[in-house]
Amino acid sequence: MSNSSLLVNVENWITENQNAFLPPVCNKLMHFSQLLIMFVGGPNTRKDYHIEEGEELFYQLKGDMCLKVIENGKHKDVHIKEGEMFLLPARIPHSPQRQANTVGLVVERRRLRTETDCLRYFVDNTTDTLFERWFYCQNLGTQLVPIIKEFMASEQSKTGKPDPSELFMQVLKYPPFQLNTMNVMSPFSFKDWLEKHRPSLSSGKPIDMFGAQFETEVIVFGPGLTDTTVRQSDVWIWQLEGSSKVIQTEKEFTLSAGGSLLIPEHSQYQWKRDNGTVALCVIQNPERKRP
């Protein structure tokens, strides 16, 4: 991976790739590494629900979206408005619904070899399974299409009724994990959150936005120094205000407002943040995975 592909100005990158956010693709990966950093547009409405063993971070940059979820056996619409952030827990069925002229950040991680994803359709107005496929996810963008096409051509799609024999076989073999029973959080304004925590950030105290109960670390940093360290997972930094410098072995990256940097897993780095810095740092380490 070249240095230029690691260091990206987010706003410029979105502008350069704006056609990718239109149908039929509607999304573009900025980074395809241990972290999957992607931006998603619309319109894109769907009936399938995705289930995975990791978490997903949503940050809606332009326009609103609706994330349909199954929360403790009931359908629920999570409305994520422009400027709002939301962390989806692992093992919760979800189906993103996006409108035209919208763009949102989504962050998830590479799957462990032991993990399995599922694409599931429900019988209308119920939480009964109509059709599902379990698979090891290497590239969701390419792997979903054949499953969706298989469903569209199936008897289940035509009749709206499940195939009892297929469901019986699925029960024998799957699911490899139980669905999450926790209630999802309410989306919140990142701008409002930031203003509330500016005094702490200005004093040099970083803040973990979601806490130890989640695998995902979303840490906001103010000025200061992160001394030489090594993370076992990718680290993605988005410099929102001010400037900073990341120093690696024989490499040095200067981040100004709007710039972002992917630090690959197992990399040693030091991070010097100037006064006036506000930077978002995202890490998804599966060793923090919650049962």
Residues annotated as binding site for Fe cation?
50, 56, 94
Residues annotated as binding site?
46, 50, 56, 94, 98, 108
pTM assigned to the model: 0.96
Please determine, for residue 4, whether its predicted confidence score (pLDDT) is greater than 90: no
- Per-residue b/e over 243-273, b at no fewer than 16 CB within 10 Å? bbebebeeeebebebebbbbbbbebebebbb
Residues annotated as binding site for O2?
46
Taking Cα atoms as reference points, which of 81, 28, 35 lies closest to residue 56? 35
d(CA 133, CA 15): 36
Whether 262 maps to a domain, the answer reads: yes
Per-residue HEC secondary structure of 103-141 comes to EEEEEEECCCCCCCEEEEEECCCCCCEEEEEEECCCCHH
Whether 1 maps to a domain, the answer reads: no
Whether 3 maps to a domain, the answer reads: no
Whether 4 maps to a domain, the answer reads: no
Identify whether residues 65 and 24 lie together within a single domain.
yes
Final residue of a structural domain among 169, 188, 207: 188
Identify whether residues 88 and 197 lie together within a single domain.
no
Categorize the per-residue pLDDT at 171 as very low, low, confident or very high, splitting at 50, 70 and 90: low
Rg (CA), the chain: 20
Identify whether residues 219 and 201 lie together within a single domain.
yes
Residues annotated as binding site for substrate?
56, 98, 108
Q: Domain limits at 237?
A: 192-288
Identify whether residues 71 and 131 lie together within a single domain.
yes
CATH code: domain of residue 220: 2.60.120.10
Work out the percent of the chain whose per-residue pLDDT is above 70.
96
Cβ atoms of residues 115 and 53 within 8 Å: yes
Identify whether residues 36 and 167 lie together within a single domain.
yes
Taking Cα atoms as reference points, which of 204, 130, 219, 208 lies closest to residue 166? 130
Identify whether residues 183 and 280 lie together within a single domain.
no
- E-strand ranges in 128-191 read 129-135, 188-189
Residue type, 279: A
Whether 138 maps to a domain, the answer reads: yes
Identify whether residues 31 and 159 lie together within a single domain.
yes
Whether 2 maps to a domain, the answer reads: no
Q: Give the number of domains in the chain.
A: 2
**Model confidence over 6-65: pLDDT tens digits?**
999 999 999 999 999 988 779 999 999 999 999 999 999 899 999 999 999 999 999 999
For residues 130-156, give the mean pLDDT.
92
Identify whether residues 49 and 158 lie together within a single domain.
yes
Whether 125 maps to a domain, the answer reads: yes
d(CA 77, CA 221): 32
Least confident of 21-25, 73-77, 230-234, 246-250: 21-25
